[in-house]
Amino acid sequence: MFKGSYVALITPMDDQGRIDYSALERLIQFHIESGTHGIVAAGTTGESATLPFEEHIEVVKQTVAMTGGTVPVIAGSGANSTAEAIYLSEQMATLGVDGFLSVVPYYNKPQQAGMIAHFNAIADATDIPLILYNVPGRTVADMLPATVAELAHHKNIVGLKDATGDINRLKQTQPLVPEDFVLLSGDDATSCEFLCEGGHGVISVTANILPATIAAICNAAKQGDFAQCKVLDEQIHAFHHALFIEPNPVMPKWALYKMGKIMSANLRLPLVLPELKSKKQIEALLEEHALVARNKGQ
């Protein structure tokens, strides 16, 4: 479990900012049909930072119901307050989720000892498997490999999403954790190399747009066909960069809107729609890959 291609799913919203559950269901079916191995609901890409608890929980509840057990669902449960993270975990533990994804506390800048206490407390609160999430580019605080190794002793802490983009971190962590501890890339641009160096999968933003290709990359890596993994990744590598030219999930939402997968690209403030030059860049890439009709005026 928790290996292969997991999409860091966006949370679709209408023009009034309400969650569009019809669009969410369409996206989930798109991923199931495309071979995505699992779904991460209400994570960073799902705008968890601006979802009130009630909405956050409902998004996860509906995602579980809409998948119907077809693929595993991991629920974002992170917070920079340990008490809030525990509350979210306890509220979602009865929804049928397969796992939790919990980020290093942001803004607080906790010490390594603080991270250990934080995650152990969350893992103690339920029996749901917990995946740690290290993304120092967003949180500032950086969870070190030795800290991951210490946390891996907890029976409910089963993996790590590493979004550092540093393959050396993977190599440093691998010998310190149990063999069955799942190591997932959280950085699309380096995910192929991560898989080729022994990583088990990816929690991918790019998979929102190209789920079949990301799944195929993971399948190739699992089979040891690293040459094919690299060929496929090279074909879509431009997306790994274009989807991050503005803060995530601004660009994935715009791309899905242009593809007709969602009816609105609306985001929750303080995020807003992309600048015109960003729109043109991603739209050109979508046209190049035949994901939208080519503009006949060009």
pLDDT digits (tens, 9 = 90+) for 54-97: 999 999 999 999 999 999 999 999 999 999 999 999 999 999 99
Residue 297 has pLDDT above 70, yes or no: no
| Torsion sign (Cα): 203, 189, 266, 108 | positive
pLDDT at position 202 is 98
Q: Is residue 190 part of a domain?
A: yes
Catalytic residues: 133, 161
- For the stretch 102-141, pLDDT in tens is 999 999 999 999 999 999 999 999 999 999 999 999 999 9
- For the stretch 242-296, pLDDT in tens is 999 999 999 999 999 999 999 999 999 999 999 999 999 999 999 999 999 876 5
Q: Is residue 132 part of a domain?
A: yes
Count CB-CB contacts under 10 A for residue 74: 31
Residue 183 has pLDDT above 90, yes or no: yes
pLDDT at position 271 is 97
User: Confidence class of residue 172 from pLDDT cuts 50, 70 and 90?
Assistant: very high
Tokens of 238: 């431009």
Q: Is residue 182 part of a domain?
A: yes
**Span 98-102, mean pLDDT?**
98
Query: Is 45 among the annotated ligand-binding positions?
Result: yes
Q: Look up the domain containing 96 and give its range.
A: 4-236
Count CB-CB contacts under 10 A for residue 67: 21
Q: Is residue 81 part of a domain?
A: yes
Query: Is 74 among the annotated ligand-binding positions?
Result: no
Count CB-CB contacts under 10 A for residue 271: 17
Number of domains in the chain: 1
- For the stretch 16-29, pLDDT in tens is 999 999 999 999 99
pLDDT at position 296 is 54
pLDDT at position 239 is 98
Q: Is residue 275 part of a domain?
A: no
The CATH number covering residue 221 comes to 3.20.20.70
pLDDT at position 298 is 43
Burial 161-180 (b: 16+ CB within 10 A, else e): bbbbbebebbeebeeebeee
What's the mean pLDDT when you consider all of the chain? 97
Q: Is the peptide bond before 105 cis (omega within 30 degrees of 0)?
A: no
